[in-house]
Amino acid sequence: MTDAIKKRGLPLFLGLCLLMGGASNGGFLENFLLQIGGIILAVLAITSRPDGAEATLDRFLPWILLFWACIVAVQFIPLPVSLWAALPGRLELTEELALLGVEPAPAMVTLSYHDSFSSLAWALPALGFAVALAAQKDLHERSLALALITCAFLAIALGLIQFLGDPQSAAYLYRITNRGLMVGFFANANHMATLLLVTLPFLAALTRSLMDERGHQRRELLIIWILLAGFIVIGLALVGSLTGYALAAPVIALSAVIMFPRAGRLLKMAIIPAVALGAAIIALTDEGGNVFAEEDTLSQRDRQQIFSTTIAAAQDFWPVGTGLGTFRDIYDNYEEQDAVDRVYVNHAHSDYLEIGLEFGLAGLIGIIAFVAWWLWRLRTLWPVMARQPFTQAAAIGSGIILVHSLWDYPLRTAALSSVFALSCVILARAAVARSTRS
């Protein structure tokens, strides 16, 4: 991969993902261009990597990704109709098709291969970006962090126009969106809040790295950090997402740990009450709701109802699952008919539950394996994190998205999945660097 792509192309692609990939069910042309870009990045990274090049990722993460690749590949294996009908949840479908005098063709594990292909395509920007990041000898964290921070401030600027303007204005980029709220380049206010939350630790890491390098400008850089971080916090307040409110206090405390490593012990003591405050907000309110505008209160939009319906469907298809990208069609069959309205549920509002429905037992194993890897990396890197601000930021950023995925679907957007990919690659590369030094 050329030096130009390393230094400018990857930050540019991250910026394009953040500006154009803010919806999980919209912006099809923009996301198609990002998908093509992800493929090009992956191909360039693979073909330009010299033989025998030094590994930049720890050995566990590629195996986890390979496991997920196998899970997805199994979805498209053609099966005999008799075997397909014997899979959990398929017998009733077989009987309904028999009444019509037809058979499933092709009969695959997934109940909708075109939805599976479509969902796989939506993951291409983050996958291609991760492959390109992993193939680099030097990651250029500053350029990537600067791209993230710049896009976050552009999102706030657009969000202010949305917040102060007409809910029907062209400032909203997607037809289906939280109109009247500050969503920036996203369709969902909660995802906008997550972007701002993730930006805070990376802003702290960039500022801290500059302060370590330019000791004579520490005071000026500290003032700039306070002003920029304060502006992001104001943006979080205006977004009106309870997800943002719940996670703001612990994220601010953790970002301060990055900025002030010598006061780390005192700041870490503040994280416990900050986490408790966030948990209380989630427990005592409609998690992920918005307080500055009345949300739809239809029963199918209520998260607890969505969760229980998703679990009921997953039990019928356990342990095989329904197939990648099939959530919406399956959910429609389990939804209470009296609750059906013009508003539809396109995701489970929990990435973990949706994976459990679509991939069954294998999906849950994949989740457990990844979370175990993430926790192990935090444990092994903890002794050196204080000297590596971008590793700290990656740990915090990926943790924010993993937590938010409990009650929403941030990884279904190219914007946040690319940030998640960046964070995971930084952690994996830091683990290799530490093991090499030791």
Q: Does residue 302 fall inside a structural domain?
A: no
Q: Does residue 311 fall inside a structural domain?
A: no
Element containing residue 360 per DSSP (H, E): helix 351-385
Domain count, the chain: 1
* Paired tokens of 389: 């601000």
How far is 286 from 304, CA to CA, in rounded Å? 9
Q: Does residue 102 fall inside a structural domain?
A: no
Q: What is the pLDDT of residues 61-113, one digit of tens each?
A: 889 999 999 999 999 988 888 888 888 988 777 777 777 776 676 788 898 88
Q: Does residue 310 fall inside a structural domain?
A: no
Contact in structure between 406 and 348 (CB atoms under 8 Å): no
Residue partners of 361: CB distance under 8 A and separation at least 6 = 318, 319, 320, 321
Residue 285's pLDDT is 54
Q: Does residue 253 fall inside a structural domain?
A: yes
Tell me the torsion sign for CA atoms 403, 408, 412, 417: negative
Q: Does residue 185 fall inside a structural domain?
A: yes
Q: Does residue 330 fall inside a structural domain?
A: no
- Which of the residues in the chain have pLDDT under 70? 1-7, 49-57, 102-103, 105, 263-302, 337-344, 431-438
- The boundaries of the domain holding residue 371 are 3-75+115-295+348-437
**3-class SS of residue 77:** coil
Q: Does residue 308 fall inside a structural domain?
A: no
Residue partners of 213: CB distance under 8 A and separation at least 6 = none
